[in-house]
Each structure stands twice: as C-alpha cells, then as structure tokens.
Amino acid sequence: MKNSPPISYIFSSSIELTRTCHQRCAYCAFYREDAPLLAIEELLIKLDELSRKEATEVVFLSGESPQEYPYIQIELHRNGFSSFSDYLIRCCEMAIERNMMPVLSTGYIDEFTAERFANAGCVVRINLVAASLSKDGQAHQKARNRNPSTGKASIEALHKAGVPYSIGFLIGIGETEEERTRYINETGRFCTADPYLQDVRIIPFQPVSGSEMSNRPPLPYSAVEKALISAKEVFPVHHLSVPPHLFYRFPDLAPGGMNDLGSVPILTGDPTHPEYPVPSIETIKARLEKINLVLFERGTNCTPAAINRPEIAIALQKNRHDIEQRNSSGLNLIDNDHCFVCGNRNDFGLHIPMKESVKDGTCTFSWTPGPSFQGYAGIVHGGILSTLLDESMAHAVMDGGIKVVTADIRVRFHRPSPVGISLKFIATRVGQRKNLHFARASVLLPDGTLLAEAEGRFAEI
C-alpha cells in the first residue's frame, strides 16, 4: 500500500447564495429566475457551522450575473452592498475569517469582475463546454454566450487579474467526441503553464430531474476514460479529478490519469445534483483500497501564486494543521448531518435534536416511538433503546467540545418500553481517566418509572 499511487481530495462544502441566473442551460435544474439572495445573517450561521465541523473549503454557488434582475439589486442594497461583486467579496472575507478557503462557482467572469477579486483570497471555478450547441433542441439553445470562446475569455480575464482559478470540462451534453478531444487539447496548450491554474476536473453529464435534458443518457465509461486520458496528456502535472458522486466507476479511472477527486462536498452534499449523494470519505477510501490506491486530503491552493497571498496566510496555516491531523489519523470523525439519531439530512433518521438537548454535561430529551421501532408487538426494540442511550451518553460527554467514539456500553432492561408513549432519556457525564470518559443514562416513563439504564465508556479522539 505504501508504494501505491496517491489519490487526493479536498474536504469541501457548498453554500447556495442564489439560484437566480440569466442562463438557461438545458442540462441544469439548479439555476432559475426568481430565487432569493442569501442574507448575510443566514450566511454567517452557515459558515460558523461549517467552521465548527472543520471544513477547509467552502464553495459559494450562484447563478451567472444575478445582479441583472432588479429584485436581486434590491436585496443587495438591503444587505448593504452596491454590487454583487461586493457581496461575493464579503462572502470570501467571512470564509477566510473562519479559516476556510473560498471558491466562487458563479458562472463566467468578465475582465472587470475578475479585477475586483484580485485581493479577495478566493479561487474561481470555471466550467468549460467544448461546443456552442446553440441550435434548436441543443443544450445551449436558451443560454446566452455559453460557448468555448467565452470560457476561454474568462480564463484570460482571471489570469490578467492574477486570480487563481480551477477549470472543469463539462462533457456529454451533446458535443461530439472529436469536439471534446480538440477543445481539451486547445485549452491545455492555452493555459497548462499558467501559475494561476490550480486543478482540472472532468465533469461527466448526469441527468437531473427538472432539467430539459433529464431523459438524456450519460456518457459510457469508455468516453469518460478517453476524455480523462486526453486531459492527462495536456495537463501532465496538475491535479486531475472526476467527481466521485457523479461517476460511480471513478476508481477505475486511476490508470488513465485520475490522481484527484477534487472538492468533495462531504458536509453539505452537492446542491447542483441533489439526486446524487456524495459518498463519505470512509466509503471512498474503502473503494480505493480495494485496488491498492491510497487516499489523502489536500488543500485548495496548489501553486505558489495562489498560496503566497497575504490575505489567506493565517487561514492557510490553520488549514494545513487540520489536513495533517486528518491525514495522520486512522479514523476521521466527520459530522455530515447524516447521523441516524440526530442528522437532519438523513431521510430515514429519527431527527432528535441531540445538540440542543445538552447542558452542563447532561443530555435530556423525550422521544415517542412509533410501531416502526417495535420488536415484539407494542414493545420498543431493545436495539433502538440501546442506540439512543449510547447517543445520549456520547453527547453528554462531548459537551466539553471534544470528539469521542464508544469504547463499550452496558445496558440493563428493567421493564418493556411501550410503543406510542413519550419516553424520557437522561444521560450524564460522570468521570474521566486520561482519554477515557464515563457516562450513565436512563429511560423513564412520564410517571418516572425506570425502563432501562446504561453505563458507557467513550474514547476521546
């Protein structure tokens, strides 16, 4: 394993700023005309949460040129900004203040706008298309200036302004294989030596519900592999990635030149493709290890031109520390809001607000089990009760701001727990020995009858 080729990734996240967009690309269901602008107060809450979860990067998503719509102008003014560029710059500042690298995925950038971002500390993401596809029924029939030359103009504007950027080749939207290969080669000759180019992505089309191309089939594996090989030939030293949630066979692409997975939005999912769940790092790692590939985390900025910017110096130092810690750890404890008990992004979870139920080392909450959680008729399954006792004790221990995993628990059942009755859970932290923490918990009926109790030991990570 030590001699295996490494595959890198960025521990990323995404925040929607607005879906308002003046483009109408047929493969997109994300952008629209009437979406609101995220208020700065709401953005602050989201950034604080991502910072607590130690994300190293946040991708700010918006439609292209939303400021062309009067109601966006009104919302910008209400938030105290004279332009959308000023708003984006403030978003970047807020991310950097919380030690996260900002990435702007806001459509194509003109020369004037690029100059505004020169000192914003951000990386700008540009998605390129290999053909105009502007005829009736094609992908860009209703889009404005979405073609190969405008993508190239955005790259030129960013280079001239000294703004680091990342490029992605969107493939499978109707271009021919010849057009695809030729455009990748032309782009490589154009910017592969650019010190502001950070990484290169191959983005295979995947149909999204609500888009005009929702019935179009994705490219076969062979076509994606050919595109990747073409990119490797002209971008031989760059991070070259394929999004793991948009192409299930991503491990098989490593021999063709894939050495990276790019920005993996572990904490938030991908708002542009909500139907394609982002796999966890542990899942990705396990799939790569099956074919003798090693996974490691990297930072957003890859070249000296991007790294040596004074506005990101402090955040970059913190990022490097977090990345080194996670790479050296055998187990990455990442809260992506999919916990079965408390995760609000888990469609099949219990959605119990555990974090809000903790105070001064004690976790208290009530839960009413339905018939789906029974073992014998009318009796709550003991495994479910054990899960909740375990979770409540862990949260009581973690009230001190640490991360733990369960070392062992012992559960004693005193009476059957009835379905349909509110059950009260109380867990308390009771001691510590070095990195081992101790807790106790109990389950009660509304009248105080003891149903079950537990003791647990939790190892601090």
Choose one of 282, 313, 328: the last residue of a domain: 328
Within a domain: 333 = no
Residues 260, 379, single domain; the answer is: no
Q: What is the mean pLDDT of residues 309-326?
A: 93
Q: Is residue 320, in this structure, part of any structural domain at all?
A: yes
Residue 333 — pLDDT band, cuts 50, 70, 90? confident
Residues 21 and 149 in one domain: yes
For a pLDDT cut of 90, what percent of the chain falls above it?
Answer: 86
**Domain identity same for 265 and 394:** no
Residue 299 sits in the same domain as residue 431: no
269 in the same domain as 192: yes
Residue 358 confidence (pLDDT) = 93
Judge if 34 and 78 occupy the same domain: yes
- pLDDT score recorded for residue 345: 83
Q: What is the pLDDT of residues 167-176, one digit of tens each?
A: 999 999 999 9
pLDDT in tens, 335-357: 888 889 998 888 888 999 988 89
Q: 320 CB contacts (<8 Å, ≥6 apart)?
A: 299
Residue 322 and residue 407 share a domain? no
Q: How confident is the model at residue 445 (pLDDT cuts 50, 70, 90)?
A: very high
DSSP collapsed to 3 states, 9-63: EEECCEEEEECECCCCCCCCCCCECCCCCCCHHHHHHHHHHHHHCCCCEEEEEEC
Average pLDDT rounded to a whole number, residues 144-154: 93
Residue 119 binned pLDDT confidence (cut-offs 50, 70, 90): very high
Any domain includes 183: yes
Q: In this structure, are 202 and 273 located in the same domain?
A: yes
The domain that holds 186 is classified in CATH as 3.20.20.70
Q: Are residues 86 and 218 in the same domain?
A: yes
Range with the poorest average pLDDT among 149-158, 189-198, 327-336, 363-372:
327-336
Q: 381, 392, 380: which is closest to 456 by C-alpha?
A: 392
Inside any domain, residue 369? yes
Q: How confident is the model at residue 4 (pLDDT cuts 50, 70, 90)?
A: low
Could you tell me if 374 and 412 lie in one domain?
Answer: yes
Q: What pLDDT digit, counting tens, does each position of 284-293 carry?
A: 999 999 999 9
Express as a percent the part of the chain with pLDDT over 70.
99
pLDDT at 329: 77
pLDDT band at residue 56 using 50, 70 and 90 as cut-offs: very high
Query: Does the residue 334 lie in any domain?
Result: no
User: pLDDT digit string (tens) for 272-316?
Assistant: 999 999 999 999 999 999 999 999 999 999 999 999 999 999 999
- What CATH number has the domain bearing residue 365? 3.10.129.10
In a domain, 346, yes or no: no
Amino acid (1-letter code) at residue 354: M
For residue 454, the enclosing domain spans 355-460
Average pLDDT of the residues in 94-101 = 97
- 3-state DSSP assignment of residue 113: helix
Q: Is the pLDDT of residue 330 over 80?
A: no
> Do the domain assignments include residue 99?
yes
Range 235-253 average pLDDT: 96
| Total domains in the fold of the chain | 2
Same structural domain for residues 393 and 296? no
Is residue 260's pLDDT more than 80?
A: yes
Q: Nearest-5° angle of CA 447, CA 449, CA 455?
A: 130
Q: What is the mean pLDDT of residues 236-246?
A: 96
- C-alpha separations of 47 from 92, 259, 334, 422, 461 in Å: 11, 29, 16, 35, 24
Query: What's the pLDDT score for residue 2?
Result: 45
**336 is a domain residue:** no
CA separation for the pair 89, 243 (Å, rounded) = 27
Average of per-residue pLDDT values in the chain:
94
pLDDT at 1 over 50: no
Give the C-alpha separation, 439 to 360, whole Å. 13
| pLDDT, tens only, 203-230 | 999 999 999 999 999 999 999 999 999 9
* Stretch 32-38: mean pLDDT: 87
Domain termination site, one of 328, 345, 364: 328
pLDDT at 3 over 60: no
Tokens of 41: 């107060």
pLDDT score at 145: 86
Higher per-residue pLDDT: 334 or 399: 399
Residues 6+ apart with CB under 8 A from 66: 18, 20, 21, 22, 37, 72, 84
Q: Which helix (H) or strand (E) holds 279?
A: none
305/385 same-domain check: no
